[in-house]
Structure 1
Amino acid sequence: MVLIPTSPGPGVDLVSRAFGAVLGAVRALPDAVASGATGLWPPGALVKSEVGQRVIGFANGAFGDRVAPRGDTLPSAMSLRLDHRRVRLDPASLAAAYPSARGRLVVFLHGLVDTERSWFHADEPEKGCSGTDFGSRLAAAVPCTPLYLRYNSGRHVSDNGRELVDLLDELVGAWPVEVTDIVLVGHSMGGLVARSAAHQAHERGARCSSLVTRLVCLGTPHAGAPLERAVARTTAVLERLWPAAPLCWLLALRSDGIKDLAEGYLHEHQWAGGDAECREDPAPPAGVRQLFVSATLSRSEDSAFSRIIGDLLVDPVSAAHPELDADRRWLGGLNHFDLQRHDSVHETLLAWLRETG
């Protein structure tokens, strides 16, 4: 921790007091959001509105475990969602929610500061966004049941990966029909959570381990996100300058999940041990085939603009990660969020899922 001298001078003291007020407001935000104390919405309205759901996703991603679980408002536990409502993982609830259940499950995981709503969009064929979500479109083309999960993206990726293994094991045991295989589809951070879960399931010998056969990562920062790395390095420099201590405190409020994105951490030992030798990721478990989809704003894959700007948030090298064992697809003319809705992404997923082997 950085300590401010007891007599830093009136100017610095004034800045420190101002930052202290800001930090107090920021720390109070999760409780304000959870209780509706801001007065911007009546009790319960937050859960029902799309804007409210966006606020929930942001609060979870920004504050992580500092957000206390309060029912469905700010859920810290990973959950299965249908029509944006929680589905209990017991046989009766699952049978009622999915009367046409199939043996192949396609599980969708959103990214940072998001909820499962991020997968749904308006039907705008003229913008290359047909249908309302990838899941329903895939189910119409191949025999499968799409499932959407919500999780607290502010927690460590490894913690969410562990929780995903537990959820999948419970789901497999209570699913209305026998589960034949599971496909995990993650956008951005969701891809890291899916990869972490696949490794942890294999290590634990979990029930779902042999059922996870395919894993799709859309715009996932496997080698880290440049923006978060820049913030982490800036914080490290500022920590050495006592006048910058208030700013360091503000930057330190970044959630564990955001910090994991700096290097693309999947496993607990990567963020807990601080050992550079632990950075290398192992190959995917036997029987798991991976697809990494990267995008660039530029329609030229090899241009300098593509390499620098990428999809606005993730550069193509990190999203493709050539050192890992995976199939790869590059899509030009798309931004980071187009990867959750654009027709070209759906067609890529569908073609890959239809491939044998």
Structure 2
Amino acid sequence: MTTPSSRRPGRAPLADWRRHLHLSDIRGLAQLATQGTLGITELVEKVQGNVYKAVAAPLGAAGQKFVDRTAGASGVRKKGITGLVYGSVKGVTRLAGGGVDALLARVAPRPGPQASSPQREALLAALNGVLGDQLLDTANPLAIRMSLRHDGQSLPMDQAALAQRLPHATGKILLLVHGLCMNDLQWRADSPADALPGHGQDYGEGLAQELGYTPVYLHYNTGLHTSVNGGQLAALLEQLLQAWPRKVEALTLLTHSMGGLVARSAWHSAAARGMHWPSRLRHLVFLGTPHHGAPLEKVGSWVDTVLGSNPLTRPFAKIGQIRSAGITDLRYGNVLPADWQGADRFSGGPDRRPPVPLPAGVACLAVAATLGRVPAAAAAGRQFDAALGDGLVPLASALGQHAEVARCLAFPTDRQWVASGTGHIALLHSLPVYQQLRRWLA
């Protein structure tokens, strides 16, 4: 699980943002503003309705006539003055939002490639991580569509066009898969000081120079279920191998955080559908992947449960349930559709995942990180560092370890490595991590 790194937009003046946002982005943000206003209005109405229910309950039948008892209703009677006020606010909001959307749709340019910027890409990535499933469901133009990219531009899945875009393509493909709320540009350090001295601007460039790989970067909506992204990635990789201008000798997936779960899901999807690219997969590298979940999502689930247990605070639980399907999949590290289908993803139930082993015949390599120093001075310190991990993912989860033996991922000892004094985001730009990757992939 990741949060936006130092490439996040920051508090730029409005005038600066005008240079980065497309007109379609403004249309999407306007849609979100309308939905947000409606959501807040409904939240306030439900809180007031629950207060009405609590006050009316001791009055018996006499009190019930002041409350709307219809199933699913807020409790505020629609024909009363209060109900009329809420209805008017929502009606005006929908009308105004629809008018703005229609106007922006008319003046929006025809779909086509437009210049983007790291600031815009970071903003879209963060929004998609938190709301990506809702953006897709509402056809919001802010929703990211999965693509394979190079230098921030989508690659065509046509052999002649791909050969023109990548004239120096080799038979060794390195696919880099980012994590939650991030994008493909964030593999590259923000400044030369944070880059890899003598090894290029990012892991892909360094491994291209030293080991002959051709780097390709995945760009995807991290708010969707992991298995949905996994299925899309499986199909996209099959297209890539068919369109690649050279015979593909080896495919390596280098993943960060949620990207590791998406890659595991893609492999299982491809194997089930009889695709060809898994036979070319030689290495699958995980950097800080929450194979068995991330504590922050578990805390979010607990807060939902606590708020939902009290009638007066129950509406506020809906605020926590804004978070995307991609985020809730990180509670236990969901990989397959069966991990979440048929269940309430906000219920906070037990881990229902069937054990999913690592891909057979593939060299699977795990890099974990700890903010502390290894070895710690005392046993208690080591336990604390392990639980804290890189600040977001505990060591055990990143190394595939689990209390249930059947769920443990079989990473050989020589294919595990722990980066000490390193945070979750720092795994993307670490020279020691790069040196370890180079040793493994050489």
Q: CA offsets, 1:107-165, max 9 Å, x none? A: 0011001110110114545x674331110100111121111110000000001010010
3-state secondary structure, aligned to 1:259: helix
Match of 1:304 in 2: 383
* Distance of 2:240 and 2:116 partners within structure 1: 26
Q: Which runs of 5+ in 1 are unaligned?
A: 37-43
| 1:243 CA displacement | 1.4
Match of 1:147 in 2: 216
* Distance of 1:220 and 1:287 partners within structure 2: 20
* Distance of 1:272 and 1:88 partners within structure 2: 33
**Is the aligned partner of 1:8 residue 2:76?**
no
Match of 1:177 in 2: 246
Structure 1 residues 124 and 76, CA, compared in 2 at 3 Å: closer, same or farther?
Answer: closer
Q: CA offsets, 1:285-334, max 9 Å, x none? A: 32112111000111125523312321111111111123202221111011
Match of 1:39 in 2: none
**Contact 1:105/1:146, CA 8 A, preserved across alignment:** yes
Q: Percent identity?
A: 35
Structure 1 residues 235 and 293, CA, compared in 2 at 3 Å: closer, same or farther?
Answer: same
Q: 2:145 aligns with which of 65, 69, 77?
A: 77
Match of 1:254 in 2: 323
| 1:181 CA displacement | 1.7
Q: Which runs of 5+ in 2 are unaligned?
A: 1-42, 56-75, 77-81, 106-111, 344-348, 377-381, 402-407
Structure 1 residues 174 and 72, CA, compared in 2 at 3 Å: closer, same or farther?
Answer: farther
Structure 1 residues 136 and 142, CA, compared in 2 at 3 Å: closer, same or farther?
Answer: same
Match of 2:437 in 1: 349
**Contact 1:225/1:261, CA 8 A, preserved across alignment:** yes
Bigger mean CA offset, 254-263 vs 310-319: 310-319
| 1:49 CA displacement | 2.3
Structure 1 residues 301 and 246, CA, compared in 2 at 3 Å: closer, same or farther?
Answer: farther
Match of 1:120 in 2: 188
Runs of 4+ in 1 over 3 A off after TM superposition: 2-7, 9-14, 44-47, 68-76, 122-125, 273-278
**Contact 2:147/2:154, CA 8 A, preserved across alignment:** yes
3-state secondary structure, aligned to 1:261: helix
**Contact 2:50/2:311, CA 8 A, preserved across alignment:** no
- State how many pairs are aligned: 334
* Distance of 1:73 and 1:121 partners within structure 2: 28
Match of 2:155 in 1: 87
Match of 2:395 in 1: 316
3-state secondary structure, aligned to 1:286: coil
* Distance of 1:71 and 1:104 partners within structure 2: 37
Q: Which amino acid aligns with 1:87?
A: L
* Distance of 1:301 and 1:195 partners within structure 2: 31
Q: Which amino acid aligns with 1:237?
A: V
**Contact 1:182/1:212, CA 8 A, preserved across alignment:** yes
Match of 1:59 in 2: 127
Structure 1 residues 96 and 285, CA, compared in 2 at 3 Å: closer, same or farther?
Answer: same
**Contact 2:259/2:289, CA 8 A, preserved across alignment:** yes
* Distance of 1:353 and 1:69 partners within structure 2: 40
| 1:276 CA displacement | 5.5
Structure 1 residues 250 and 277, CA, compared in 2 at 3 Å: closer, same or farther?
Answer: closer
Q: 1:130-209 maps to which residues of 2 (within 5 A)?
A: 130=197, 131-209=200-278
Aligned Cα root-mean-square deviation (Å): 3.3
Match of 2:420 in 1: 332
Q: TM-score, normalised by structure 1?
A: 0.84
| 1:209 CA displacement | 1.8
Match of 1:234 in 2: 303
**Contact 2:188/2:195, CA 8 A, preserved across alignment:** no
